[in-house]
Amino acid sequence: MTTSSGSQAKPRRVLGTADAIAIGAGAMVGAGVFVVFGPAAAEAGAWMPVAVLIAAVVAYCNATSSARLAARHPQSGGTYVYGRERLGDLWGYIAGWAFVVGKTASCAAMALTFAAYALPGWERPVAVAAVVALTAMNHRGVRMAAWLSRVLLACVLAVLAAVVAVALGGGEADPAEVAVSSHWPGFFGLLGAAGMLFFAFAGYARIATLGGEVRDPRTTIPRAITITVAGVFVVYFLVGVSVLTVLGRRTLAASSTPLIDTVVATGWPQLAPAVAAGAALASLGALLSLILGVSRTVSAMSADGHLPRYLAGVHQRTGVPQRAETAVAVVVCALVLFADLRGAIGFSAFGVLAYYAITNASALRLGPEENRPLLLVPVTGLAGCVVLALSLPLPSVVSGAAVIAIGAGIWLARRAAEARRG
């Protein structure tokens, strides 16, 4: 049975460090790595590896701030909780709103990407089936989700390792393609590419949003986040250099399937089906982790009355917020069936960067006795989030800012109504 959150219906702390790393890495090494290098190369050219480094530095700052805050506030909800506790209710609400709206769109994009690789021509029904199946899996408990994340992650990493091996191990790679002296894209091009690449890094939040289900969160969460970000940076850097040196800037920029084109160009077309399968599995793993993270934030916001309190219910036996997970799945299925998701990546990136800007601002409020990171870390993270968000394509900036403003307006209107009643 599902009960409301209370002393008898709290999330169970069942995840260890390896489980948290699997969920975080599974969210980060998603469909983005199979598609993001094309548009990033169009923006940055030979400087794309530098853009990967910039995105990784911002991600590391965000991850460090998240880890320190999660150790002080080990509840599910992530920056929704941190912003509320450190900056005030409005900022916590905006963080939660940005995360839920942006990541719900990302869920739909991941579901459609999976379906496009798994069964082309039947994208929408297959995407809905994937959402329903993973939601049912999540209902069985977070340990089951962690186990599935490990399996999917292992398969995807094996595919990426094969791509890097055939690209860098053959004779088709041209090191001149990464000679930064050959082309300067301008700061806007470099930072725009970093903003898009940041979208592919933004999965470590899943570890923090599961804070209520992690054993020894003060130690486990910081360790898992640091290991995950460092490992994924190495993977992305190697894959990015591989596809750029083999395909070249112009071909890579025009490619919608750069990893498949890379193995074909190196004389290994027989690997193309495995790469396509890897992309499908990566999308599935990212979707699994996204549903976990979004549903936990929805549950936390509902418990505080910012969303319908009914959605705060937690299953008594499994400790899973099944009502929130079901609601998220319903919305994602509706987006899959009816919405135009062409701008989903840019829109999601803007929402995630806004979310992490609040994370870093919250970390600045930690005291020296609270294991606050060096001030350079949250300051760099905050500035990086703002700069990368404003460097995204203009439609993404406008739509993302408008949706966040609508959320803030709803919060202010509700507060004004409560004040009148009081």
Convert the pLDDT of each residue in 160-175 to its tens digit.
999 999 998 877 888 8
pLDDT at res. 10: 52
Tell me, yes or no, whether 266 lies in a domain.
yes
pLDDT band for 136, please (50, 70, 90 cuts). Answer: confident
Are 297 and 306 spatial neighbours (Cβ–Cβ below 8 Å)? Answer: no
The answer to whether residue 6 scores a pLDDT higher than 50 is no
Structure tokens at 33: 């790595």
Does residue 281 contact residue 288 with C-beta atoms inside 8 Å?
A: no
Q: Has residue 422 been placed in a domain?
A: no
120 SS3 class: coil
Contact in structure between 331 and 131 (CB atoms under 8 Å) = no
Distance CA 372, CA 362 (A): 11
The conformational region for residue 302 under phi > 0 = left, psi -120 to 50 = alpha, else beta, is: alpha
- Report if residue 19 sits inside a domain: yes
Q: Write the pLDDT tens digit of every residue in 276-298.
A: 888 888 888 778 778 877 888 88
Q: What is the mean pLDDT of the chain?
A: 82
> Quick check: is 343 in a domain?
yes
Please state, for a pLDDT cut of 90, what percent of the chain lies above it: 22
pLDDT bracket for residue 86 (50, 70, 90)? very high
Asked if the model's pLDDT at residue 26 lies above 80, the reply is no
Has residue 382 got a pLDDT over 80?
yes
5 found inside a domain = no
Q: How confident is the model at residue 12 (pLDDT cuts 50, 70, 90)?
A: low
Which domain range does residue 289 map to? 13-417
Residue 265, in any domain of the structure: yes
Q: How confident is the model at residue 5 (pLDDT cuts 50, 70, 90)?
A: very low
Tell whether the model's pLDDT for residue 317 goes beyond 90.
no
Q: What is the CATH number of the domain that holds 341?
A: 1.20.1740.10
Coil, strand, or helix at residue 254? helix
Cβ burial of 88 (10 Å; 0-12, 13-18, 19+) is exposed
- Which pLDDT does position 161 carry in this prediction? 93
Q: Does residue 37 lie in a domain region?
A: yes
Is 6 contained in some domain? Answer: no
Is the pLDDT assigned to residue 1 strictly greater than 50?
no
Residue 7: what pLDDT? 39
Cα 29–Cα 82–Cα 93 angle in degrees, nearest 5 = 95
Q: Cβ neighbours of residue 252 under 8 Å, at least 6 residues apart?
A: 37, 38, 41, 243, 244, 258
Domain count, the chain: 1
| Residue 8 scores a pLDDT above 50 | no
pLDDT at 141 over 80: no
User: Which residues are within 8 A (CB) of 381 and not within 5 positions of it... i.e. 6 or more apart?
Assistant: 58, 61, 62, 64, 65, 356, 359, 360, 363
Q: Is the whole-model pTM more than 0.85?
A: no
Q: In the predicted model, is pLDDT for residue 232 greater than 70?
A: yes
- Kindly state the average pLDDT of the residues 307-325: 75
Over residues 186-203, the pLDDT tens digits come to: 888 898 888 888 877 777
- Cα separation, 84 vs 96, in Å, equals 10
Please give the structure tokens belonging to residue 144: 């089951």
Distance CA 106, CA 347 (A): 9
